[in-house]
Chains A and B, each alone.
Chain A
Amino acid sequence: MHPAASVIVFTTLSGAGFGLLAFLGIGEPAPTGLRAFWFYLLGYGLAVAGLLASTLHLANPRNAIKAFREWRSSWLSREAVLSVTALIAVAPVAFGRVFLGQDWPVLGVIGAALCLLVVFSTSMIYAQLRTVPRWNTPLTPVVFLAFALAGGAILAGRLQAALAALAVLGCVQLAAWIVGDRRFAQAGSDAGTATGLGRIGRVRLLEPPHAGRNYVLDEMAFRVGRRHAAKLRILSLVGAVVLPGILLATLGTGVVVTAVAAILHLAGALASRWLFFAEARHVVGLYYGR
């Protein structure tokens, strides 16, 4: 699938932002006053920046408001509804802490749950697609949630939670890659089933329907070189998991260390998300011999 910058930035930043808001919601040492203000500013900033980035890839953003209508059937609509609900639900807790020095833990937990539901709904947009076998596994939501929790814990300065989340993230990310590499073959689609001609013999594209590109090819026939992908996987794992883990474990959670760890983590997360799209193969490629 074409790795569109807007969608990669959106899923990565809003994931980390909602992860941070979730951790703030279940804050053991609940920050208050100015400290809380900076935390919430960062959480809201990331989540909202991500959501705004997501509108950049709409070809007809005038109708974006209608995306709230079909939450009964559509995960994309659920994501839109949930993200607005979560952002509103977190607001009173943030207000209480920043301006009143008050903490309402029950509201906080509800807000945190909604934030994680947003991330889950984002992941389900991809996981539901049978046309992209690599995405069509329960590991997709697991990886998205692991990224949100790890990013959120690092940003919130929760040392124990961050180390635990990073360990889990490393494992599920590796599992997703290993399982994902086999998914296309397992799903069982090939040029023979795509054309129905497999019942006669071996099918090969002789002549494509058009010489140039088209929307379907631009969107869905992206292929990334294998060696390229292998290198990026290592870089992403080192950036997102290994380096932040070592930094936090040895130097604690001071502001500078947290900032460096968070930037490394987000850079690794962006690389992983780029691969998530670039490595995903859509079955429509079978009609084009790709």
Chain B
Amino acid sequence: MTSLPTTTERKLGLVIDLDTCVGCHACVVACKGWNTVADDGAPLSDVDAYGPDPVGTFLNRVHSFEVTPDDGGAARVVHFPRSCLHCEDAPCVTVCPTGASFKRAEDGIVLVNEDDCMGCGLCAWACPYGARELDLAAGVMKKCTLCVDRIYNENLPDADRVPACVRTCPAGARHFGDLGDPESEVSRLVAARDGMALMPECGTKPVNRYLPPRPRDVTSDERLDDAAEGSDRPSGFLGWLDRMLEAL
């Protein structure tokens, strides 16, 4: 059924810390690996992998942006992982003609039943975030499953019952949990760091949240002046050095 559930018991999702992400793409590789070897569903294929025009299916992509502050401060680089946000008002689900796309009432995860998908691609058009990619080999739509085959998997040790991207992130920039529970760790992170929803104007009500980079320390002009060659009266260590050198 591609009608959306009115509410979901839980809202499982990711919180991604843009302050901490170092842009290493480990999550991209872990995701690709897990979803290529996992039993259920078609693997994430590559076409022409070693040829001149390789193209492959990925459920997570890391962009790097440059942000120049409005107040004229120094520009900074922000690494930005992009994957399905498991939206509450997921337009990708309601457009699906076959019923292949659905949102689970129990935990809010948005999934594709590959046995029903006809590969029309309309759901990918409906997603503002480019989170869905049609697998060119299998002809079915692929998207982040929030590693539904890991998080409930009793054959895995506890530590591994999180999405592969979260498990692998060396910077600890990815957090997994129930964003519907205000007391959960992820919800508290969002509250403390003013977590953002992406493109709210598209009306999708994403579950995933992004934590904005923390403000940078601002170097005070005074100390820069002190250090600059030709400033008349340096203070602190430089001043001391200056005086010592003069005394020689």
Q: Are B128 and A283 in touch, CB under 8 angstroms?
A: yes
Contact of A196 among B118, B134, B198 (CB under 8 A): B198
Chain A residue with the shortest CB-CB distance to B60: A209
Query: Is the CB–CB distance between B199 and A193 below 8 Å?
Result: yes
Question: Which of A196, A212, A284 is close to B130, meaning CB atoms less than 8 Å apart?
Answer: A284
* B68 CB contact (under 8 Å) in A59, A66, A201: A201
- A residues 43-75 touching B (CB-CB < 8 Å): 57-64, 66-70, 72-75
Q: Is the CB of B63 within 8 A of A284?
A: no
**In this assembly, does A195 line the interface, its C-beta being within 8 Å of a C-beta of chain B?**
yes
The CA of A220 and the CA of B121, in the complex, are separated in Å by 11
Q: Which of A99-107, A184-192, A243-251 has 4 or more CB atoms under 8 Å from chain B?
A: A184-192
Cβ 8 A contact of A216, one of B25, B94, B124, B138: B124
Chain A residues positioned under 8 Å from B71 (CB to CB): 201
B56: Cβ under 8 A from any A Cβ: yes
Q: Is the CB of A60 within 8 A of B139?
A: yes
Q: How many B residues touch A, CB cutoff 8 Å?
A: 70
B196 part of interface (Cβ distance < 8 Å) = yes
Q: Which residues of chain B have C-beta atoms less than 8 A from A130's C-beta?
A: 91, 128, 202-203
A42 adjacent to chain B (CB < 8 Å): no
Docked CA distance A169–B42 (Å): 46
Indicate if the CB atoms of B66 and A204 lie closer than 8 Å.
yes
Binary contact readout A174-204 vs B (1 if CB under 8 angstroms, 0 otherwise) = 0000000000000111010111110111111
Q: Are A73 and B2 interface neighbours, CB within 8 A?
A: yes
- Structural contact, B97 and A197, CB atoms closer than 8 A: no
Bound CA span A283–B130, Å: 9
A132 and B99 alpha carbons, distance in the complex (Å): 23
Q: CA A65 – CA B140 in complex, angstroms? A: 15
Q: What is the minimal beta-carbon distance from A211 to any residue of chain B, in angstroms?
A: 9
Contact A282 B125 (CB under 8 A): yes
Q: Are the C-beta atoms of A72 and B55 separated by less than 8 Å?
A: no
Partner of B124, one of A76, A187, A201, A215: A215
Cβ distance A125 to chain B, nearest Cβ, rounded Å: 7
Q: Is A206 an interface residue (CB 8 A)?
A: yes
Q: Within the complex, which residue of A73, A196, A208 is in contact with B94, where a contact is CB–CB below 8 Å? A: A73
Question: Roughly how many angstroms separate A214 CA and B158 CA in the complex, as a whole number?
Answer: 35
- Cβ–Cβ < 8 Å partners of B1 in chain A: 70, 73
Which residues from A are CB-within-8-Å of B134?
59, 215, 219
Q: Counting CB contacts under 8 A, is B129 at the interface?
A: yes
> Min CB distance, A35 to chain B, in Å?
37
With both beta carbons as reference points, the residue of chain A lying nearest to B125 in the complex is identified as A129
Q: Which chain B residue has the least Cβ–Cβ distance from A193?
A: B199
Are B201 and A188 neighbours in the complex by a CB distance under 8 Å?
yes
A148, chain B: closest CB distance, angstroms: 21
Instruction: Report whether B63 and A208 are in contact in the complex, using a CB–CB cutoff of 8 Å.
Output: yes
Chain A residues with CB below 8 A from B200, complex form: 193
Q: Which of B77-85, B163-171, B172-180, B218-226 binds A?
A: B77-85
Which residues on the A side are within 8 Å of B100 (C-beta)? 63, 66
The reply to whether A206 and B199 contact each other, CB–CB distance below 8 Å, is no
Separation of A191 and B198 alpha carbons in the complex (Å): 10
Chain A residues with CB under 8 Å of B121's CB are: 57, 59, 219
- Complex CA–CA separation, A210 to B127 (angstroms): 20
Q: Is the CB of A60 within 8 A of B118?
A: yes
Binary interface encoding of chain B residues 116-133 relative to chain A, with 1 for a CB under 8 A from any of its CBs, else 0:
111111101111111011
16 more CB-based (< 8 A) A-B contacts, given A189-B201, A205-B64:
A63-B115, A63-B118, A70-B97, A73-B95, A77-B98, A194-B198, A196-B196, A196-B210, A196-B212, A197-B65, A203-B66, A206-B65, A214-B133, A219-B125, A220-B124, A283-B202
A to B CB contacts below 8 Å, 19 in the list: A58-B120, A59-B136, A60-B140, A63-B100, A74-B97, A80-B97, A125-B122, A128-B95, A130-B202, A131-B126, A131-B128, A189-B128, A189-B199, A193-B198, A197-B80, A201-B71, A203-B67, A212-B53, A214-B55
* 7 closest residue pairs by CB, A with B: A59-B119, A59-B139, A196-B196, A77-B97, A209-B61, A60-B119, A284-B130
Interface set of A (CB-CB < 8 Å, partner B):
1, 57-64, 66-70, 72-77, 80, 125, 128-132, 187-189, 191, 193-197, 199-210, 212-216, 219-220, 282-284, 287-288
